[in-house]
Every structure is written in C-alpha cells, then in structure tokens.
Amino acid sequence: LVSLAGGVRELALTPSSNIQVIGQVKKKDLAGGSLVQSRPHEGILVEAQLIRECPPDLRKKALRVLAAKVALAARADASQDGPSEKLGRELYETVSNKIEKWMEPPPAKLVKPMKRPDQQNHQKARWAEICKAKERSQQTEMAKLRNRVMFNVPEQRARQDLEFEEGDTGFGMLGQVGMGPAQSSNTKHAAIGKNE
C-alpha cells in the first residue's frame, strides 16, 4: 500500500476515500477478461484479512472503516520520527471490534402480552374518574364573572357605603345588567333587539 501510494508521506496526504481504491484493477487492464471479475471501488485493501473474513454484505462498510484507520495510522507515522506499533494495534482492534459488533444478531423483540379485559375496563373507569374530578375542580361561570371587570364602570361591592380599601374584593361583572348565568333567554333576545 505504501509503495503504491509513493511513500508514507504521500499515503498520509491521501484521503481515506482514495486509499480504499489504491491498487484498483481498471476495466481496460483485464485484457478481454470477464467484467464480472472487476470490482469497482475496491483496491488492494480488499485483500486484508479483516475484509476477507467479513460477510459479503458488510465488506464495503468494513472497507470504508479500514481505509479511514489506515489514513490515521499513515498520518501518525508521517508526523513522528519513526513508526510505532502501538497506534496500529489499537486501530486494528477498533476495526475488528466494530466488524464483530456488526455481525452480532439483532436483539429479539419482546412481545408484550395483551392485558386482561377486566384490567382494560378498570383503566377506563379510572380515566372517567379523573375526567369527573377535573370537571369538578374547574372554575364556575359565577367565579369567572366575578374575576372580570368592565372598563370605566364602577364595580359593585358588598358594602357600598364604605370607601374602597386595598384588599377589598368586588363582584366584578357579576350582577351587571345583561351579564351572568341567571339571565333568561327572553332578556337576551330583548337586549339584542334594542341594540339593533
């Protein structure tokens, strides 16, 4: 691989996508042989032991990973005074562990058993209780009207004779003409007729 690239420095400058095709047999080099024997995008790295031991469906993926690790090792060797085996062995272990992990069978899916019918009904009843409790805790229409205040209209209070003090609570829109749940439908229609 180093001799085909032209040296360690040239191999270090080569991108990993080009490293995997170094030594590739071109179609014109087959000299009239079958094109079935030509493997595109595969170079001399295909002959590595790690790639040969891979199943055929994982070879291209493993080849890309191995080419990337070869590029890292070449760059490390080119930057140091002398080549060291430590990094190469670590990268080899990394690639072999990845390939082994890919070849492991996928984990079996756990099939959850169906719930018993009485449990399902219990959950529906519990949900109905939650919905009823939520309805009971909602704010009533009277409380909503009491919290609203009309613009530029004095608010009614329980004791009109005293001056308004901080902390006094008024009735808000409760008791105003045309407001509140106590108003009958006839009054509403009469009010609408007057406004038109």
What is the pLDDT averaged over residues 153-176?
Answer: 65
Using one digit for the tens of pLDDT, what is the confidence trace for 76-91?
888 877 667 888 899 8
pLDDT at 138: 85
* 3-12, 47-56, 173-182: range with lowest mean pLDDT: 173-182
pLDDT at residue 111 tops 70: yes
Q: Which two tokens stand for residue 129?
A: 């209780």
Q: Which two tokens stand for residue 35?
A: 């094109």
pLDDT at 184: 42
pLDDT at 159: 61
| First CA to last CA distance, the chain | 94
Dihedral over Cα of 19, 25, 29, 35: its sign = negative
Contact between 71 and 31 under an 8 Å Cβ cutoff? The reply is: no
Contact between 123 and 162 under an 8 Å Cβ cutoff? The reply is: no
Using one digit for the tens of pLDDT, what is the confidence trace for 150-161?
777 777 666 655
What is the pLDDT averaged over residues 110-138?
Answer: 78
- What is the spatial distance between Cα 98 and Cα 65, in angstroms, rounded to a whole number? 9
Using one digit for the tens of pLDDT, what is the confidence trace for 179-190?
544 444 444 444
